[in-house]
Amino acid sequence: MSILVINAGSSSVKFGLFDEETLAPVARGLLDWAGEARRATITLHAGDGEEIRKQLDVPDYRSGVVEALKLLGSLPGAGAGLEIRAVGHRLIHGGEEIRRPVRIDDEMKRKIAKVAHLAPLHIPAGLEAIEAVEAALPGVPQVGLFDTAFFGDIPPCAYLYPVPYRWYEEWGIRRFGFHGTSHAYCTQRAAEMLGRDRNGPRLVICHLGQGGSATAVRGGVAVTNTMGFTPLEGFMMGTRSGTLDPGLLLYVLREHGLSVDQLDHILHHESGLLGLSGVSSDFRQVEAAAAEGHQRSKLALDVYAYRVRAMVGALAVTIGGLDALVFTGGIGENSPWLRSEVCTGLECLGVELDASRNADCHPDQDIATPGSPARVLVIHTREDFMIARETRRLVFGSI
């Protein structure tokens, strides 16, 4: 008996199958449209490593998910007589109202649809996936976990913007925070690694991948996150600009004739590492180019590290100090250079990085010097595991 986890994006859907009793991974899959509306590629991996790849001709998104679920259920390595007893969904945005994992029914689908404008690429896809499960697995309970939920307790002083208050009252404009499932997992895992109750350590968690954000955590609760009303705020990212002077945006609109749609595209798709380096949005490729002497790539990396370091310092102040700095995500887990650059200058917060541990790091590991007042943890994030566990808890009452 298994729990299925679905992470639905605008052009791809990730699947994970977990044993209901042990939460061990059983199988995983990826459904990818790759820019073709009626043709998708499904790639499935069983627990024994066997891979199945198949082209699907599907008329729409929902049909693609239905077909993928049928294939996943028949995957040889997943075990004979496979029974999916619950499904958990990663949903990007719950707005102000949805701040905890929820059972999904018709009323909840209506609530989710009401905030679709806050994440127009992801929420409609998530709803399509929910309805695909209803078609393929009728009667199977479904649960939604929201990236914004982990930040449901941040105080007004952290989530309000200094704009007319009626913007918040009438339009709901406030900081939400994102990557919450990853930050929640790292909060728990860091407490385990430190040998402390999860309500104890003061943490700054850096989730660094194609998208990136940091969260300040005190007493097991998020105090704030660097992302805001949208995932565009905060760190410089692969193709996203991160935080900018709003006057700069007004300037290019007025003085250089950009349309709102052009500016939106540039900030989301032509900025960040790609925009500065001119090489790639992939951190690994920019690192390689910098190592070969490409000056704009080196500059892009320096800006990236500077902005992470500056925001880590700001977040540490909000929680009154630092017990551990956590790196996670594809870049956070795999770039010794980036970890070293971020930590250089944070000695004032008690961060003392061990160079040899950093260079030879494999998650989950503490890479601070033995005497460092603050620990430096590299953690492999497991968002799908968190979704499976919360789904099991909500449906079956089992922790």
Backbone φ/ψ region at 356: left (φ over 0), alpha (ψ -120 to 50), beta: alpha
Catalytic sites, residue numbers: 147
Supply the pLDDT for residue 34.
64
CA dist 297 and 275 (Å) reads 10
CA dist 111 and 9 (Å) reads 19
Structure tokens at 87: 């499904």
Structure tokens at 167: 């913007």
For 148-180, the pLDDT digits (tens) are 999 989 999 999 999 999 999 999 999 999 999
Longest dimension (CA), the chain: 65
Per-residue pLDDT of the chain (399 residues; tens, 9 = 90+): 899 999 988 778 899 999 999 999 988 988 887 655 677 888 888 866 678 888 888 888 888 888 888 887 776 655 555 789 999 999 989 988 888 899 999 999 999 999 888 888 788 989 999 999 999 899 999 999 999 999 989 999 999 999 999 999 999 999 999 999 999 999 999 999 999 876 689 999 999 999 999 999 999 999 999 999 988 999 999 999 999 999 999 999 999 999 999 999 999 999 999 999 999 999 999 999 999 999 999 999 999 999 999 999 999 999 999 999 999 999 999 999 999 999 999 999 999 999 999 999 999 999 999 999 999 999 999 999 999 999 999 999 876
If 0-12 CB within 10 Å is exposed, 13-18 middle and 19+ buried, where does residue 171 land? exposed
CB 328 within 8 A of CB 208: yes
Which positions ≥6 away from 342 have C-beta within 8 Å?
A: 206, 305, 308, 309, 312, 327
The residue with tokens 């902005």 is: 307
Q: Kindly report the pTM of this predicted structure.
A: 0.89
At 245, the amino acid letter reads D
At 232, the amino acid letter reads L
Which positions ≥6 away from 301 have C-beta within 8 Å?
A: 286, 287, 290, 337, 338, 341
Nearest to 384, CA basis, from 213, 147, 150, 181: 181
CA dist 238 and 286 (Å) reads 10
* Coil, strand or helix at 29: strand
Supply the pLDDT for residue 252.
97
Per DSSP, what are the bridge partners of residue 25? 18
Nearest 5°: phi and psi at 306?
A: -60, -45
- Cα–Cα separations (whole angstroms), residue 51 to 78, 169, 252: 12, 51, 49
Dihedral sign, Cα of residue 191, residue 192, residue 195, residue 199: positive
- Please list the residue range(s) of the chain that carry CATH number 3.30.420.40: 2-146, 195-383
Q: Which fold has domain 2-146?
A: Nucleotidyltransferase; domain 5 (3.30.420)
Which CATH number describes the domain made up of 195-383?
Answer: 3.30.420.40
Which positions ≥6 away from 23 have C-beta within 8 Å?
A: 3, 385, 388, 389, 392
CB 237 within 8 A of CB 273: yes
Supply the pLDDT for residue 57.
86
